[in-house]
Structure formats: C-alpha cells, structure tokens
Amino acid sequence: MLVLILDMKVVEMIVLDVAQNKSRVDLLVVKLLRDTGVAATISTDSMEFRVAVQKFVYLLQVVGGLDLGFKFEWLSMGPYSRGLQNHYQRISRTLVSNADSVAEFNDVEQSALDAVKRLLSSLEKSVARLDVKVLEIAASLIMLCRDVYPKPLDPVEELMMRKNLPREDVVRIWSAIDKLSICR
C-alpha cells in the first residue's frame, strides 16, 4: 500500500495502490496492448487479459527501466504483482473507451515503450507469433535471469522443470532475450 498525502495542510491519508506514477500504468499498458496487436486477440474479462497486463508492466519496469512502483513476486505463472489487481478494470475501461488515443508520453515513458517493443518484435520474429503465452515465457525467463534468487544456472532448464511448455519456443525466446543483453 502506498500513502498519498494530497494536501499537507490537512491530514489526508489516501492509503491506496492507485497513486502517483502508478496511475500512468493504465495508459502505458493500453499502448502496448494496442501496438503489439495483443488487444485484438483477447477479451478484457479473460484470464489472458490479466496475464498480459501483468507481463507488460513487468517488462516496462525491467526492460524499459520505468519505475512504476510495482513489486513482482516469482509465482507459478511467472512474475506477478498483487498491486495490479487494482488496475485491471481501469485498463480495460481505457482500452474500450479509447481514452488513450490522446495520451502523450514523456521521454522516459516513450523510451521504455520503445525498449519493450524492440524486445517483443524480436520475440515475434523468433517464434512467428506474439501472444499471451509468449509474453508469459519471456517475462518468466527474464525474471529468472534477473530477479530470482538464488539465480539459476540455466533459465531455460529452470523454467522447463517447472512448466509444461514447448521447449523449442522457450529456447528461441531465450535466444532472443540473450541477444538483447537484457540479463547482463
């Protein structure tokens, strides 16, 4: 939880996750959902939508270097942030209403979006598709090589040991990540 003191003259405690730069996350995620074409393949009330939101935000923070203030845990489906539960609905509303069409991004945000898109474009070339499963595999491999402790010797083998995934896809996705030096 994050405390937001909106008016220092009055003791005002808004004890919420929805605060400060976290409010920008909605626009950033919608931008990625649209630009990558993932939005067109999933329904906003589906599990896939939530997975996509989780993985896009993780990639924006880790690959894009944007501090959106979300903490990610290493769970069975890869990186997961509880704080994002507060955002699914807002992101869905923004997507449906096209409220993002007039959104402007500052240089740091644009640079983060570009970095994530570069990675996703590279992944798409490697496995000939970009869907939620590819996002899940990529985000999991990156978390394994960057955040998980103790660091596994081989992220591919670590992921394969835990998940029933097509090995060929995992290897190709890892190869694309490795080429971009994301884990070094």
Partner 1 sequence: MIRFAFREASRMHSVKRIYDEVHGYIELSEVELKIVESTVFQRLRFIKQLAAAWYVYPGATHTRFSHSLGAMHIMGLVASRLIDLGYVHSVDDVQLLRLAALLHDIGHTPFSHAIEPFYKHRLGVGHEDLSKIVILESSSIREVLSSYGYDPKTIAALLEGRYREPLYNQLLSSDVDVDRMDYLLRDALHTGVAYGSIDLQRIIATLVVDGEGNLAILDKGIDALENFYLARLHMYRTVYYHKTLVGYEMMLRKIYEYMNDYAEDPLLPKSREDIVRIARSGEIVLWHDDWFLGMMIDMYRKGRCRELKELIEAFFSRKGYKVVVDRSRFDMNPIDIEGDRDIVVLREIISSVKGRVEPHQIALFVDDIKILDEDPYIAPRVIVDGRASVPIVDVENSVVRSVPRRYHIKRLYVISSRWQDVKDYLAVRGL
Q: Which residues of the shown chain bind partner 1 in the complex (CB under 8 A)? A: 1-5, 9-19, 47, 50-51, 54, 69, 71-77, 80, 82, 85-90, 147-150, 152, 158, 162
What's the CA gap between 16 and 30, in Å, rounded? 22
**β-pairing, 73-75 with 78-80?**
antiparallel
Q: What is the dihedral of CA 178, 144, 32, 44, to 10 degrees?
A: 140
Give least dist CB 79 to partner 1, A: 10
Give least dist CB 19 to partner 1, A: 8
| Interior/surface letters 159-172, b for 16+ CB within 10 angstroms, e for the rest | beeeeebeeebbeb
Give least dist CB 2 to partner 1, A: 6
Shorter beta-carbon distance to partner 1: residue 74 or 105: 74
How distant, in Å, are the alpha carbons of 30, 55, 118, 157, 183 from that of 176?
Answer: 24, 17, 11, 16, 11
Give least dist CB 144 to partner 1, A: 8
**What angle, rounded to 10 degrees, do the helices at 132-146 and 155-162 form?**
120
Shorter beta-carbon distance to partner 1: residue 47 or 108: 47
Shorter beta-carbon distance to partner 1: residue 82 or 179: 82
Shorter beta-carbon distance to partner 1: residue 124 or 131: 131
